[in-house]
Amino acid sequence: MRTRPTTVDRRTFLLTSAAAALHARSLLAAQGGAKVELGSIDGSVGGNQFTPIQYLDHFSSLKLTWAMLSLPAPTLADEAAIRAVRDHADRLGIKLQLAFGSVCPSARGFNAQLGTLEEQVARALKASQIFGARCMRCVLGGDPERPQIEMHIDNMIKAVRGMRSRILDSGVKLAVENHGGDLQAREMKMMVEAVGTDVMGVCLDSGNPVWMLEDPHMTLEMLIPYAETSHVRDSAVWKVPEGIAVRWVNMGEGNVDIDGWIKKFVAAKPGLPIIFENLVSGNPRIHRIYDVKFWDNWRKMPASELARFVAVAEKGVPKPAAPRPEGKTAGQQRIEDLEVCVKYTRELLARM
């Protein structure tokens, strides 16, 4: 016997669908914003002597769903240990990325005692495959490389080109961080394009630009097309008699419009996680821009880029670090700071 559809059936269907959609939106809002997942690098809560498993447990307690881990050399050489970390992350519902070090053979941070660059990168790519990651964070170097940065860039380009087939075959991109002390955004862009975007992208860091005389929004605008993952933290920038002072601060305490930065990142890269690297500075870093010698490391910086950075400093106010409460370790303070960071960002995403 054939049953005719009725108006009531159709109305029930529509009401049920609407209720389901409303429930989905409510669920997303409760999770801290539509389709934006949050995570952290292990360094955000460094100083607590956590093992990789303990980092994962801590991030899970904050309801984070991504973790970027820097595995010690013995673990990187032990596939069973890496699989144990992956299995634990799977049980917690956490997705993994690897935080690797320097891939520039001439950088001071490259440790030749751990093997050739090719051997070290091969182990890191394998670990990333076990993690199920599509990229791995790496760096060129830091402050020591800045005086000869062009030479180090050339060396890194040659080294990565020599590993091109291995990287492509792995299915894991190198996500080079715009790191504090080494590369400005325009230099990073040039390097990525010279190597090829099929093997190299960017770990886009919102905090390091202020170390590199850059407005974080300018850095984002230049590098967002290449972003494969992120490091997010807030910064305070202000003028001092010697030049410009910068400090990393908890989310919402800076003056670089971190809210706007996150909104731009989410709009440009839907689906990519926001991964906190919440490193609150002690003493500020001072850019002595009135000292002629200071510019030895920055001679090719365009005036237009410096002008944007100075404009941020003009709007800033001094933001000295508060003394850590007596009896509280640096590790305990970092745990509290990350909780503040996560709460602030969830509330921001819920308003978007």
Mean pLDDT of the chain: 92
Instruction: Convert 300-317 to b/e letters by CB count within 10 Å (16 or more is b).
Output: ebeeebbebbbebbeebe
> For residues 221 and 195, is the Cβ–Cβ distance under 8 A?
no
Single out the residue of 202, 203, 175 nearest to residue 189, CA to CA.
202
- Above 90 in pLDDT, residue 195? yes
How high is the pLDDT of residue 29?
Answer: 41
pLDDT above 70 coverage of the chain, percent: 90
Give the rounded distance of the alpha carbon of 88 from its chain centre.
Answer: 23
Give the rounded distance of the alpha carbon of 81 from its chain centre.
Answer: 25
Instruction: Return the sign of the alpha-carbon dihedral for residues 108, 113, 114, 118.
Output: positive
Q: Per-residue pLDDT tens for 117-130? A: 999 999 999 999 99
Cα separation, 328 vs 209, whole angstroms: 30
Q: Per-residue pLDDT tens for 88-118? A: 999 999 999 999 999 999 999 999 999 999 9
Query: Rg of the Cα trace of the chain?
Result: 22
Cα separation, 234 vs 284, whole angstroms: 14
| pLDDT band at residue 34 under the 50/70/90 scheme | low
> For residues 78 and 109, is the Cβ–Cβ distance under 8 A?
no
Q: Per-residue pLDDT tens for 277-304? A: 999 999 999 999 999 999 999 999 999 9
Q: Per-residue pLDDT tens for 222-232? A: 999 999 999 99
Main-chain phi, psi angles of 199, to 5 degrees: -120, -15
Cα separation, 157 vs 178, whole angstroms: 15
Q: What's the average model confidence in pLDDT over 215-223?
A: 98
How high is the pLDDT of residue 35?
Answer: 82
